[in-house]
Structure 1
């Protein structure tokens, strides 16, 4: 039985050259899942300058134009064997509209194109994609520019620095999702861990040990844990990757160098300052030239 039965794609109908529809359609066809496409249209500010009669006419004409375009896109997918439905809706509150659709449809994946936001804007407002990573009840598949509609190389990015039950469960879910996606798309599956120990963390543990010696000891410990994970899940030696550096920078460099199509990562709930600054997965969205599947 396929991992995916229902896929939900959220699009901005103004971005008509976006590859999101083709990517979602390809995944639906490969997995045999149904695909529902929702085009959310923000209210046009200019409408408030018109009288009520003209406003209603312009609004309906604009929506019909979007419906006609989306219907033509859905017909193309249907011609390729995809079971697809679609709708266009006004959205005064896009976050709430997406949440309502997820609750109603309960899809296996929420698919959406990454919406790039400036660093300044992120400092004052929570980006929509960050909101979805934190609040969405289902895995979120964010399309960030992978060249292939169906992934050819999938990377499961685990974190073995913490050995708690919750972290182990999250690593298991990451590997399960990555494995399922790779199998359905006939893609290569790789396992990656980005090793990073801050100087502050090392200093706390020092107590007479040289930083270099402590670093080597921690690295050996983490690498052994990582290799044990890889062995338990039958990952071939040539698809195991233990990289060193800041996670965001290291993962970005790795995905670019190895032409990764999808990186599968965990979502972590944050509070206080961590919530303001964002998680590794959130910052990865603006760094990697590939898609991100967050579980």
Structure 2
């Protein structure tokens, strides 16, 4: 995702009048000077949203839903085109499932998928729904989840890296994260900050000399990537909790993190990443580890036909 060539926005199922993710995607496409693909999924077989009446005239209900979807997409595309965005809209007649989303992104060779964060029942803040977690796990490319609120692609970006993981020979994930964040921040005119957490409670991490060594590694890494000294943040604590607490007392517009790169869970996302995504409180760009697309290629090949 260092130089994204194809941006894909996955429209929410409900045609809401205000769609923060689409606003963000349009602004990002303008800043990058790239076209924006918009996919609005509609299930060709489902009439569940129509209620019991849909069972009597399923074809009429399906055609009505399709017409509404097409009108929404046409109107939104025209609005973005008036702002100078090159738009490629498509109504996709397939179920709005994580597997279908991932297959579509793979089929059009998307470089970055953009999606809205959704309101969660019983909670005051928006976040990832079960389908979002599933999609992030199977997506062949990085995903940007947009927090509701005023659209702003500038401001301050924060990239989170893991120096303990960086110490492992041959690791390239942190470099991919910081380069993607730096390119995006530069293009959008945003200030880029970098954070890393020293997990002092982990086994063998209580040694002060080890802390000093990791901090120096962090300073060297940030310097290598041109990060200003005042934009470097090396803090102790439990990684997910420390980063979320830092975000709560700071004003960042976007957090950039890596997923599927360490502490792997069956979902393929990672303990630390899952904890951060659950409580970030801002938009989040989840960078897939290098080579992740190859790991999912076999699974997607049968779907993307």
Offset, 1:147: 4.0
Answering whether residue 14 of structure 2 is matched by residue 5 of structure 1, we say no
Aligned to 1:248: 240
Answering whether residue 238 of structure 2 is matched by residue 234 of structure 1, we say no
Contact preservation (8 Å) 1:194, 1:246: yes
Which of 156, 160, 172 does residue 157 from structure 1 map onto? 160
Any idea what the Cα deviations from partners look like across 1:83-134, whole Å, max 9, x if unmatched? Answer: 0122233443511221221111111101112246679xxxxxx922222332
Offset, 1:137: 1.4
Answering whether residue 75 of structure 2 is matched by residue 75 of structure 1, we say no
- Pick the structure with greater CA Rg: 1
Offset, 1:50: 5.4
Secondary structure of 2:57's counterpart equals: helix
Secondary structure of 1:286's counterpart equals: helix
Distance in 2, matches of 1:36 and 1:134, equals 21
Offset, 1:286: 2.1
> Structure 1: which 5+ residue stretches go unaligned?
120-125, 206-213
TM-score, length basis structure 2: 0.81
Contact preservation (8 Å) 2:31, 2:188: yes
Which of 59, 68, 71 does residue 56 from structure 1 map onto? 59
Offset, 1:4: 2.4
Matched residue count: 276
Aligned to 1:267: 259
After superposing the two structures, state which structure 1 stretch, 56-65 or 269-278, moved more.
Answer: 269-278
> Structure 2: which 5+ residue stretches go unaligned?
123-128, 288-305
Aligned to 2:48: 45
Secondary structure of 2:226's counterpart equals: coil
Offset, 1:274: 5.7
Answering whether residue 22 of structure 2 is matched by residue 21 of structure 1, we say yes
Secondary structure of 1:81's counterpart equals: coil
TM-score, length basis structure 1: 0.83
Secondary structure of 2:154's counterpart equals: coil
Secondary structure of 2:95's counterpart equals: coil
Distance in 2, matches of 1:281 and 1:228, equals 24
Offset, 1:79: 0.2
Contact preservation (8 Å) 1:113, 1:142: yes
Q: CA 1:271 to 1:256, structure 2 compared with 1: closer, same or farther past 3 Å?
A: closer
